[in-house]
Structure 1
Amino acid sequence: MTTSPSPAPTPSETPTPSESPAPSESLLSAVGLRVTFPGRHGAAVEARAVDGVDLDIRPGEIVALVGESGCGKTTLARTLLGLVRPTSGRVTFGGRPLDYASRALKAYRKRVQLVLQDPSGSLNPRHTVYDAVAEGLRIHGYTGDERAAVAQALSRAGLRPPERFFLRYPHELSGGQRQRVVIAGALVLEPELIVADEPVASLDASVRGEILALLLRLRTELGLSALVVTHDLGLAWNIADRVAVMYLGRIVETGDVEQVLTAPRHPYTQALLSVLPEAGGDPVVLTGEPPDPSRIPSGCRFHVRCQILASGKAAEEGVADACRTRDLPVLAGSGGAQVACHWAAGRAGVTRAG
């Protein structure tokens, strides 16, 4: 699989992800993160939604967290935001561990903002655009010029002239305009990082490129970092500097976006990419049951659905037994290309993981 996803249409002046700075110190970091939930109907077995994750996001970097529904990526994002307290492990921001006291969390959420998938659901239909954007300022006791701050945020989000939108209601806006209002509501607090959960999933294809271009422009102009949670590898290709592929609570492949998406090493990443129209060839049809966080299999957590194991290729390499019985370590949070796969481990250019 060497064909890359084709980019969505974006303005010619839009900066590319490769132009981002790459400082070495992390802005946001997760180390050994685990989140478990009680089993259904009082069952003794807990659901391991996040089952050991290390992840770093550097200043000015956009990281895409990719995986199918139910893999744990939204729970991981909510944990990084402080909305879910981890069962074990830690989250640090700016080198300091996240403090879960209410006052500390309030200060933290001013610096790290969430952009939700559905702008219609995240905007109060009874609030004007002005009130929707000003809400964060009021919650955090902003004492400056509120009108100027709201106008600046709307302008940065591409709604110009901003005053034209002040008294409008969400139902009077297009889907793209509503998403820009949501983004303005995050920008008004001048955060250092945004967590965008499927930021263009509910938008028409013609609007998606505009929103992606906006996020890239904000990174360039404001030095904004972002974690973009998505199931769409095409979106990751267009916006991210680095990609982390998640499966059943754990990151199974990570690295620079071009390296991972043009030469995927993990069979799961290969399967995700195979269904893109640009991939060519036959899509990989995964067998077995979908992921269940309360029933983590022994060995490689993907082995029960793995096309490499099913085809006999893993046996040819002498790793079939290891795939079924030997667990793989947690990948490091940043650095070069890494893969948690017995079959792929040891191949050129990949950090060995197991």
Structure 2
Amino acid sequence: MTTTTDLLSAQGLQVTFPGRHGAEPARAVDGVDLDIRPGEIVALVGESGCGKTTLARSLLGLVPPTSGQITFGGRPLDYGSRALKAYRKRVQLVLQDPSGSLNPRHTVYDAVAEGLRIHRYGGDERAAVTDALSRAGLRPPERFFLRYPHELSGGQRQRVVIAGALVLEPELIVADEPVASLDASVRGEILALLLRLRDELGLSALVVTHDLGLAWNIADRVAVMYLGRIVETGDVEQILTAPRHPYTQALLSVLPEAEGDPVVLTGEPPDPSKVPSGCRFHVRCQVLASGEAERAGVADACRTKDLPVLAGGGETQVACHWANATVAARA
């Protein structure tokens, strides 16, 4: 289903925002390599404030990187207005809250047709809107043309948002918490829809979420992000059944189906303008706090030695002194 040629690739991506009142700049994205192949669904997972939404916005061309490069289809992203407009036809955003992303004064037809009008579509607009609504699971589509968002259920509104993205026939969808605002009974339907679109259209997707359970149900590959960097990445089954990074282990421990006691992380993620030395997770790390890192002989490295940026490909990788030392000891 996937190929080895990357559709979207980020290399050494950094996004820095100026600090207020002379404070240090905030490193929202602080060195990220990430590849997405055709027909692949990648889940970008992490707590609120870890930088995943900023990374997604940068990949969409909405936030220019401070340094690094984004390529799409093998070509560097051009930030000229005409080039960005053409790029955003091929890469579409699906937002978390369909109520907030739909104009309450626009009918479903106008909401879906808006992208076609912005890009001056020269074909049959009605046929394109009909096809997009049908693919999004709103059938018969004509029944929804003259409805307004307030007349739809939450799941139907999210399907309209997805139809608005599909109408431009994109190659990649960036979905930011696509089911977070929906009832549990509807979430499975929307996830099944995304999987069906991948299978039928070869569509790629980057799904931004804080929910590892969602990643398990939809993703081929997962990238776990913490304080501006990807700290563990690889095949979804490998990462979620045998997580190596303490942060990934903590996120998984609070899932309802997890075995054992949940890991309660102390404090909030550090300020991105004051990234700790060494491993950026060490100030909250349960492995360091328990003395396991000391017994493995890496406690000082955890506190002082920075870790390299993980490669963006599909291989399983972890940015953790303790995890790497444990593997080395078993070899």
On whether the aligned pair clears a TM of 0.5, the verdict is yes
Corresponding residue SS for 2:323: coil
Q: Which runs of 4+ in 1 moved over 6 A?
A: none
Q: Determine helix, strand or coil for the equivalent of 2:324.
A: coil
Give the partner amino acid of 2:2. Answer: A
Partner of 2:10: 30
| Alpha-carbon separation, structure 2, partners of 1:82 and 1:94 | 15
> SS at the partner of 2:61?
coil
Q: Contact 2:50 / 2:269 at 8 angstroms: preserved in 1?
A: no
Quote the Cα distance in structure 1 between the aligned partners of 2:80 and 2:147. 37
The C-alpha deviation readout for 1:178-217, integer Å capped at 9, x for no partner, is 0000000000000000000000000000000000000000
- Letter in structure 1 aligned against 2:187: R
> CA RMSD, aligned part only?
1.2
1:85-234 aligned at under 5 Å gives the runs 85-234=64-213
Cα distance in 2, alignment partners of residues 179 and 328 from structure 1: 39
Whether 1:335 and 2:330 are equivalent positions in the alignment is: no
Q: Aligned partners of 1:79 and 1:318: how far apart in 2?
A: 38
| Cα separation, 2, equivalents of 1:51 and 1:231 | 19
Match of 1:302 in 2: 281
SS at 2:206 equivalent: strand
- The answer (yes or no) to whether the contact 1:71–1:291 under 8 Å persists in 2 is no
Amino acid at match of 1:203: L
Structure 2 matches for 1:260-339, cutoff 5 A?
260-339=239-318
Which AA in structure 2 matches 1:261? L
Q: What is the number of residues matched between the two proteins?
A: 329
The residue type paired with residue 131 of structure 1 is D
Measure how far apart 1:280 and its partner are: 2.2
Question: Are 1:129 and 1:170, in contact at CA under 8 Å, matched by a contact in 2?
Answer: yes
Q: C-alpha separation between the residues in 1 aligned to 2:226 and 2:149?
A: 36
Q: For each residue in 1:71-127, what CA deviation from the matched residue of structure 2 results, as whole angstroms up to 9, or x when unmatched?
A: 000000000000000000000000000000000000000000000000000000000
Which residue type is aligned with residue 3 of structure 2? P
1:283-338 CA deviation, whole Å, 9 max, x = no partner?
11112442311110000000000000000000000000000000000000013110
Kindly state the Cα deviation for residue 348 of structure 1 after the two structures are TM-superposed.
4.7
Unaligned runs of at least 5 residues, structure 1: 1-20
Whole-angstrom CA distance in 1 between matches of 2:185 and 2:43: 21
Aligned to 2:51: 72
Structure-2 separation of matches of 1:155 and 1:302? 45
SS class of match (1:159): coil
Q: Any conservation in 2 of the 1:70–1:291 contact (CA below 8 Å)?
A: no
Deviation (angstroms), 1:159: 0.2
| TM-score when normalising by structure 1 | 0.92
Distance 2:195 2:76 in 1: 28
Q: Distance in 2 between matches of 1:58 and 1:348?
A: 29
TM-score by length of structure 2 reads 0.98
Distance 1:122 1:314, change over 3 A: same
Equivalent position of 1:4 in the other structure:
none
Q: Extract unaligned runs of 5+ from structure 2.
A: none
